[in-house]
Amino acid sequence: MALSKELLDILACPKCKGNIHLNEAEDGLICDACRLQYEIREDIPIMLIDEAKQLAG
């Protein structure tokens, strides 16, 4: 089961409170402002800043 559109619409980056979106593989949520990716495990987004992966660029 993938994340619902309703859930994606209300989720925000816990660091900057900005918008997030699914990555291409649909296994993570990306905050472009912070350049962070939050992993999705077993259809649950892990929205912990300490566990986010820094994106290159």
**CATH number of domain containing 47:** 2.20.25.10
Q: In total, how many domains does the chain have?
A: 1
pLDDT single digits (tens) 6-55: 988 999 999 999 999 999 999 999 999 999 999 999 999 999 999 999 99
Closest CA to 22 of 1, 8, 7, 10: 8
pTM attached to this predicted model: 0.90
Q: Show the CA angle centred on residue 36, arms to residues 44 and 43, nearest 5°.
A: 10
Measured between its terminal Cα atoms, the distance across the chain in Å is: 31
CA distance 3 to 16: 21
Domain with 13, as residue range(s), is 5-54
Closest CA to 30 of 13, 43, 44: 13
